[in-house]
Amino acid sequence: MTNDTIRKEFPFLHRMYTTRNDLELTQRGRTSFMKKPLAYLDNASTTQKPQAVIDAIVDAYTNHYANIHRGVYDLSVEATDLYEGVRAKVAKFIGAKSEKEVIFTKNTTESINLLSYCQGRTLQSGDEILLTQMEHHSNIVPWQMLNERVKTKSIYSSSGTEGRIEKSFDPELKTEEFSTSSNNKKVKIKYIPIDNEGRLDLSTLDKLVTKRTRIVSITLMSNVLGTINPIKEIVSRVRSLGSKAIIIVDAAQAVGHMKIDVSDLGCDFLAFSAHKMYGPSGVGVLWGRRELLEQMPPFMGGGDMILSVDFEKTIFNDLPWKFEAGTPSIADVIAFGEAISFIEKIGSENIRKHETGLTRYAWNLLKADPVVKLYGPEPRRGPSSSRGAVIAFNVDPSASHSTLRDKPSGSDSKSSGQVPIHPHDVASILSDEGVAIRSGHHCAQPLMSVLGIDPPATPEQAQDLRWRTGAACRVSFGVYNTKEDVDRLIEGIEKVKKVFKFTKRSGSSRQSSNNILRAREASREVPI
Amino acid sequence: MDIYREEILEHWRSPQNFGKLEDADFVIDQINPLCGDQVTFYFKIKKGKISKISFTGKGCAISIASASILSEAILNKPVSALAKIAGRDVLKMIGGPVGPARLKCAFLSLEAIRKIGSSRLKLEQ
């Protein structure tokens, strides 16, 4: 499938936007201009939907809708078959041994929360959870909340000492409010640090993994840095250290962008969302090893998760329904099957190749601009590149020698030179150009702090705080993105520099466009 | 976005009343959880009027500029007047509409100073 054919399947590209540039041209007397589709570069947040997925939702509600696992009438059986068919499809898609290992949730966040409740129940005071510095809030907060639920009896045990707060890393500092009652903090959360390039520093594993490590939960791909973590290597290192910890993989960012095979990864659980892989929102997946899922107590109680109920007790249902209480998002799950078909039709390898090419193209153009500060590992050639299609950056003149135009009215030296443009301002201006990017902390505030984007504030820093954006811009690619989308991003950043009056005198603007032209020439031969 | 006029950029580059007020009577923090923008206002009150004001914080051009403009506007005004400032007044001060996505940036400071209008948060030393 060519990129053009793929783009035709996405109706969001039919909606045309009038860009600010075009409006300005109109005001200057030009009457006709090209309207453009949105350059949607926020795929790490959620992807757009192909027509087949949208049609499948309509079809499910129109022709096949009834509650599942309930009725004996044909329509209910039909809906159940379609729903369960997608479970089998998901199992095959991720290389699971059995569809009984596939549990439908609401999203990745619910999948991880489920684990923090059901696996977390077995944790005791003094146990340890190992995360990484690059986790999304959804793989940090549930574990911090778990602390509130861990059995307290051992806190007041023979040693007589209360559970202590073990501050192993800044996130602890950042959650002061949450942990006000934290003198009874019991579970220790540790974080694998990242190196300067934004990769995990695995040399720390020997020290971080201990006898008390009960859960290791790691993202397969960072939603900020784009780093793809070597899960297989981490699993084997953790195991070779003799640890029996449960190993959880957050695959939210990876799924739909690269091939995922749970039998190859070697992890115990894997969580992801349908909406980040061209499927409907409201559907998530938790895959787990059967024996572990069988040992785990249910998450929520209610209908469909029971075998029998009397007034005193309940016998829980078998896998996977034990973890699916209540009526699920039936039509969305059914349509999720179409999203998987869509990905399989293109092929995970082809998607990866396309996105790797775009990432390298964008990275090189952004890098050629002296006022753009990039985060994360440099993309390498070939499919072995351990980097996904996510690029975080800031428009920050302090990253280079370029300057802002000196203001006549007594600007101080700081304000005349080294002022980073806040990502929200960048994103607003890009939005006027029909380019959608994400700006903010990307639900990874602890990582922002490690990257030096949002360091913990001290009173002494207060004077300088205004120049800390506390956030980053992020672009992320999907199957429908093109080099033209990237070119429009680069043009948009030029517009940002114009709006914020980057000096022409210093040559930074011209110099950077020359650099960008050179980079664009250089990458012309790169096939996408 | 038309909001990025020279006046706004000037307030962003060189905000008025920026810095900490050591002898402040009241200190108010406000955070925008959406983006992590944060502002702290310092007030010195004399006879019911704001005799000194300053702020520190971090944020985008819109939030810093509106903090700066607002701080200028309320200096020497009675504390009782603060509760009466409406969102549209702030938009007028900063010179026009910002998209719905950026209203929170524009109103961060307003939310902060409104707190002193309704309840008096004494500075904790």
pLDDT in tens, A355-408: 999 999 999 999 999 999 999 999 977 555 689 999 999 998 876 533 333 333
Spell out the domain ranges in chain A.
3-37+347-522, 54-342
Question: A3-37+347-522 and A54-342 share one CATH topology?
Answer: no
Report the residue of B2, B3, B4, B18 to disrupt the A interface, i.e. the one with the largest count of A CBs within 10 Å.
Answer: B4
Which residues on B lie below 8 Å from A440 (Cβ)? 34-36
What pTM did the predictor assign? 0.86
**Residue B92 to residue B106: CA distance in whole angstroms:** 11
Give whichever of A168-172, A345-349, B86-90 has the largest mean pLDDT: A345-349
Q: What is the pLDDT of residue B31?
A: 87
Q: Is the pLDDT of residue A292 over 60?
A: yes
Which residues on B lie below 8 Å from A472 (Cβ)? none
User: ipTM value of the model?
Assistant: 0.85
Amino acid at A51: Q
Tell me the count of A-B CB pairs closer than 8 A: 84
Reduce the DSSP state of residue A414 to 3 states and report it.
Answer: helix
The CATH number of the domain covering residues in A3-37+347-522: 3.90.1150.10
* Strand bridging mode A306-309 / A39-40: unpaired
Lowest mean pLDDT among A136-145, B2-11, B34-43, B76-85: B34-43
User: Which class in CATH covers the domain with range A54-342?
Assistant: alpha beta
Q: How far is B72 from chain A (nearest CA, A)?
A: 17
User: Residue A525 is encoded by which pair of tokens?
Assistant: 């031969």
Positive/negative CA dihedral, B102, A438, A482, A378: positive
Looking at chain A, which residue has its C-alpha nearest residue B67?
A466
* Strand bridging mode A372-375 / A390-395: antiparallel
Contact A184, A192 (CB under 8 A): no
Task: Label residue A347 left, alpha or beta by phi (over 0 means left) and psi (-120 to 50 means alpha).
Answer: left
The CATH number of the domain covering residues in B6-117: 3.90.1010.10
Q: How far is B60 from chain A (nearest CA, A)?
A: 5
User: Residue A6 is encoded by which pair of tokens?
Assistant: 């793929």
Q: Do A429 and B1 touch (CB under 8 A)?
A: yes
Which residues on B lie below 8 Å from A431 (Cβ)? 1, 99
Which residues on B lie below 8 Å from A409 (Cβ)? 10, 14
User: Residue A203 is encoded by which pair of tokens?
Assistant: 């040399």
Q: Is A445 on the interface with B (CB under 8 A)?
A: yes
Lowest mean pLDDT among A42-46, A242-246, A512-516: A512-516
Looking at chain B, which residue has its C-alpha nearest residue A19?
B1
Q: Is the pLDDT of residue A315 over 60?
A: yes
Cα of first residue to Cα of last residue in chain A, in angstroms, is 12
Q: Do B34 and A440 touch (CB under 8 A)?
A: yes
For chain B, what is the mean pLDDT? 86
Lowest mean pLDDT among A56-70, A109-123, A164-178, A220-234: A164-178
Confidence of residue A148 (pLDDT cuts 50, 70, 90): confident
Mean pLDDT of A519-524: 68
Q: What is the pLDDT of residue A34?
A: 64
Q: How far is A351 from chain B (nearest CA, A)?
A: 31
**Residue A127 to residue A137: CA distance in whole angstroms:** 21
Question: Considering CB atoms only, which of B13, B58, B62 is closest to A470?
Answer: B58
Q: Is A431 on the interface with B (CB under 8 A)?
A: yes
Mean pLDDT of B29-45: 85
- Give catalytic residue positions of A: 443
